[in-house]
């Protein structure tokens, strides 16, 4: 699965322009998903604390060969956590402040998601036609 199949951030260029990435500075990607924002921040020399409550997103990124070097050098910290715990997670990694942050709060359904799968967020149940985001809260 390539990133565009997992999740494509629609406001990528605009968000990057607003973040004004500076080399060596630390950024938060609070909802990393397929890693679109994170990849671009890393390419521009920023460090990233990337969080996602969806273990499938985190595992997808951990297996990505393009990110292996960033993970090994500590330029990317990837955690299977809800952003509600960002302060605790940042403290754990010795991060005192972020230069900028991205919270991509849109609902997406990747190509492999079964809408009736109750074990994986986000999901859309056909029979109820309602959206439910259960992120371990």
Report how far residue 64's alpha carbon sits from residue 25's, in angstroms, rounded to the nearest whole number: 23
Domain with 80 in it: what CATH number? 3.40.50.150
Q: Given this model, what pLDDT does residue 20 score? A: 94
Report how far residue 55's alpha carbon sits from residue 134's, in angstroms, rounded to the nearest whole number: 12
Segment 64-112, tens digit of pLDDT: 999 999 999 999 999 999 999 999 999 999 999 999 999 988 655 555 5
Range of the domain at 25: 3-132
61 Cβ contact list (under 8 Å, min separation 6): 32, 34, 35, 38, 50, 67, 78
Peptide bond connecting 122 to the previous residue in cis, omega within 30 degrees of 0: yes
Q: Given this model, what pLDDT does residue 128 score? A: 36
Decide if 10 is inside a domain.
yes
Q: Provide the domain count of the chain.
A: 1
Split at pLDDT 50, 70, 90, the class of 114 is low
Report how far residue 57's alpha carbon sits from residue 75's, in angstroms, rounded to the nearest whole number: 18
Decide if 19 is inside a domain.
yes
Decide if 46 is inside a domain.
yes
Query: Which of 3, 67, 122 has the alpha carbon at shortest distance from 131?
Result: 122
Confidence (pTM): 0.75
Decide if 137 is inside a domain.
no
Segment 8-49, tens digit of pLDDT: 677 888 999 999 999 999 999 999 988 999 999 999 999 999
Identify whether the C-beta of residue 50 lies closer than 8 Å to the C-beta of residue 29.
yes
Decide if 127 is inside a domain.
yes
Decide if 74 is inside a domain.
yes
Q: What are phi and psi of 57, to 5 degrees?
A: -65, -45
Report how far residue 49's alpha carbon sits from residue 125's, in angstroms, rounded to the nearest whole number: 32
Decide if 101 is inside a domain.
yes
Decide if 37 is inside a domain.
yes
């Amino acid at each position: 699965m390539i990133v565009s199949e997992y999740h494509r951030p629609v406001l990528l260029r605009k968000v990057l322009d607003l973040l004004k990435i500076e080399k060596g500075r630390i950024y938060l990607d609070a909802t990393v998903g397929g890693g679109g924002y994170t990849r671009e921040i890393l390419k521009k020399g920023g460090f990233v604390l990337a969080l996602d409550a969806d273990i499938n997103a985190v595992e997808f990124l951990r297996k990505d060969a393009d990110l292996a070097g960033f993970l090994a050098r500590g330029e990317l910290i990837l955690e299977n956590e809800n952003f509600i715990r960002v302060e605790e997670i940042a403290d754990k990694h010795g991060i005192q402040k972020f230069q900028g942050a991205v919270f991509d709060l849109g609902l997406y359904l990747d190509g492999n998601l079964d809408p009736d799968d109750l074990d994986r967020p986000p999901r859309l149940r056909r029979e109820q036609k309602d959206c439910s985001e259960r992120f371990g809260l």
